[in-house]
Amino acid sequence: MDTLAKRFKLPCEPGMQDWQWEVADASRIGEFLAAYESGDLTDDERFTLMEIVIQSFADLPEPLVSDIRWSRALTLLSENCYLHLYSIWYWSVLDNDLGHEDLWRVTPDLRVVFMTHCYRFM
């Protein structure tokens, strides 16, 4: 968190709960993806940054299907599914007993990623 907070000039205070979701910013998705793809980050940083990216897309008001950056993020998740297995599982809401209305807008696409790649690791 600290290195990402410094890199992106994000707030990082002791009282922040679920930091990666609090600092998500849909207007910075391109910047976050470029940093992820740069090769300059550790696995821990990439894991946390991808959580920020997913939350940023969840907050985006425009349809995801028409956003090429979403396709890019899904490709990164697929290519690195072992690193992001927990995130893919979490956002897929595979154990959803609450009903369809309680899913995030990213859930259907992340379920596809899970079923295509990640089920092998469960």
Q: In this predicted model, what pLDDT tens digit does every residue of 86-105 receive, in sequence order? A: 999 999 988 766 555 568 99
pLDDT value, residue 100 = 58
Question: SS3 of 49, please?
Answer: helix
Q: Name which residue leads in pLDDT, 43 or 1.
A: 43
Asked if residues 32 and 56 have their Cβ atoms less than 8 Å apart, the reply is yes
Report the C-alpha gap between 3 and 9 in whole angstroms: 10
Domain total in the chain: 1
> Helices 85-92 and 43-59 meet at what angle, rounded to 10?
20
Count CA atoms closer than 13 A to 27's CA, side-chain side: 1
- Whether the pTM exceeds 0.85: the reply is yes
Range(s) of the domain holding residue 13? 2-121
